[in-house]
Structure 1
Amino acid sequence: MSPPTTVDAYVEAAERSGYVMGDDDVPVSLHPVSIDRDQGDVLRRTVLTEGAERTLETGMANGISTLYLCDGLQRNGLTGPRHVVLDPQQADQYHCAGLRAVRTLGLAGLVDFRPRDSSLELPRLVDEGRSIDLAFVDGDHRFQGVFADLHYLDRLVRLGGLVLVDDYDLPAVRDAIAYFTANLDWILEEVVHRIAVLRRPHRTCTPPWDAYVPFQAVTAAPSAAG
């Protein structure tokens, strides 16, 4: 049987078997870390509807989210390293399964892969003067990890750009998001298939040095698809 040549066929085959292959031909389980097809459709559709040209994700794992994001970029007619991926565990924990997936489907040229912790690499991207249209946060799910990602993305994602955060059902994720909606005017637009869709304000928000709004997680009503 010929290997899948589209993202949808690849993911369908992976979900049917329950695993993907790493570079050393070791099967790497999809669960519990991989997003599902419904979530992948959210990522791809958002890239398309936003007309995103520069994207970023924290946490590659098995590469399923990367495939959907890159598929959206490709459908937007883009080429070159447009998608920054941060994952320090790609080789040791996932046997480079994500990198193999993007190579298999001819999407590797869109990927700027960086095998460093996001808390170390995101500041470097800020220093490089990068500007991102859309980011997907799905790395460290502890409060401090999510908060650090969002803190630097507040400097990287363009005004009016989107930040999508997986696993909004986790209290640590909700609480980290709540700081940015309460204090920096981020807007929680919807929660769909456990993905929180956040939009940065369209104008710069710089509170006074001593300003602080106590925050409590805000629960957005899930969309019909959620």
Structure 2
Amino acid sequence: MSERGARVREVRRRLAQDGPPWTRDHELDFQTVTMPERDCDLLRDLLIADGAGTVVEVGLAYASSALAVGEALVTVDPPHPRHVIVDPFQDQAYSDVGWDLLRAAGLDSIATLMRSPSSAALPELVSEGFTADAAFVDGSHRFHEVFVDLYFLRKIVRPGGLVVMDDDWTPSVRTAVRYYERHLGWTAMPGAFAAGTLRHIADDPAAEAVPRCRALRLPDALVEPPFTEFHPF
């Protein structure tokens, strides 16, 4: 492991072991909000295996997933690594704790934080012609906002690239994602997080337990089906 990678790994280890230096005043907020370490490891490994050099991420919070993305990028070591993070609440709700952890890991040299809603930031990236190899989405879980995030990410992530969703166990996220699978040619990668955390759909103990995260492969070309071929999803 490179010295740079070791620095990121150490910050990740301390965060998982000791928690962040500051949390919001909600009971067990870090444990509730952040993605578990093993899922972060799987995200890192998936991005490394795909050779990702540019990643866009929606949601920062305590930076667990962002640190995993950063570790993947410094491991792949492309000529111009770039990690664009979108989070309008990092300063006002999280006192910049996630961003400070990225800085402690030395990842601020490759990361950019857009402090605006994804509904504004992602269209801005599209207008700039920004292209990413992969995206990780853990922003708003409202159906319409997830749907809009994915709409713009399909224009940002290159053909054949990856989109990884957190909290696929929530009905709102699952429903939004299924539209893109059914109508726009996105293909689920069920093995990517098979060893990760399981959650019952809608937190219903009687419902199926599914991996918390869902990875999807975009088609090799942008799909625009005719409106006459629409089917309920």
State TM-score, norm by structure 2.
0.83
Question: How far off its partner does 1:206 sit?
Answer: 1.5
Q: Using the alignment, how far apart are the partners of 1:107 and 1:86 within structure 2?
A: 15
2:130 aligns with 130
Residue 214 in 1 paired to residue 232 in 2?
yes
Q: What code does the residue aligned with 1:6 have? A: R
Describe how 1:74-113 pairs up with structure 2 within 5 A.
Answer: 74-78=74-78, 82-113=82-113
Q: Using the alignment, how far apart are the partners of 1:101 and 1:114 within structure 2?
A: 16
Describe how 1:12-51 pairs up with structure 2 within 5 A.
Answer: 12-17=13-18, 19-21=19-21, 26-28=22-24, 29-51=29-51
Contact 1:15 1:30 in 2 (8 A): no
Describe how 1:46-195 pairs up with structure 2 within 5 A.
Answer: 46-78=46-78, 82-190=82-190, 192=193, 193=196, 194-195=212-213
1:218 aligns with none
Question: How far off its partner does 1:142 sit?
Answer: 1.3
Q: What code does the residue aligned with 2:144 have? A: Q
2:221 aligns with 203
Question: How far off its partner does 1:214 sit?
Answer: 1.3
Secondary structure of the corresponding residue to residue 31 of structure 2 = coil
Structure 1: give runs of 5+ residues left out of the alignment: 216-226
- Following TM superposition, where does structure 1 have runs of at least 4 consecutive aligned residues deviating by more than 2 angstroms? 5-17, 26-29, 78-81
* Structure whose residues are more often helix by fraction: 2
Question: How far off its partner does 1:136 sit?
Answer: 0.2
What RMSD in Å do the two structures reach over aligned CA positions? Answer: 1.6
1:222 aligns with none
Q: What code does the residue aligned with 1:129 have? A: G
Contact 2:53 2:81 in 1 (8 A): no
Question: How far off its partner does 1:27 sit?
Answer: 4.3
2:7 aligns with 6
Secondary structure of the corresponding residue to residue 30 of structure 1 = helix
Q: Using the alignment, how far apart are the partners of 2:129 and 2:213 within structure 1?
A: 27
Contact 2:138 2:165 in 1 (8 A): yes
Q: Using the alignment, how far apart are the partners of 1:81 and 1:16 within structure 2?
A: 28
Q: Using the alignment, how far apart are the partners of 2:79 and 2:97 within structure 1?
A: 22
Q: Using the alignment, how far apart are the partners of 2:38 and 2:52 within structure 1?
A: 20
Secondary structure of the corresponding residue to residue 229 of structure 2 = coil
Q: Deviations along 1:110-158, whole A, 9 cap, x unmatched?
A: 1011001001110111111111100000010111111111111111111
Q: Using the alignment, how far apart are the partners of 1:13 and 1:87 within structure 2?
A: 23
1:223 aligns with none
Question: How far off its partner does 1:56 sit?
Answer: 0.5
Q: Using the alignment, how far apart are the partners of 1:15 and 1:203 within structure 2?
A: 39
Q: Using the alignment, how far apart are the partners of 2:145 and 2:222 within structure 1?
A: 24
Distance 1:99 1:209, change over 3 A: same
Contact 2:70 2:107 in 1 (8 A): yes
Q: Percent identity?
A: 34
State TM-score, norm by structure 1.
0.86
Secondary structure of the corresponding residue to residue 160 of structure 2 = strand
Count, aligned residues? 206
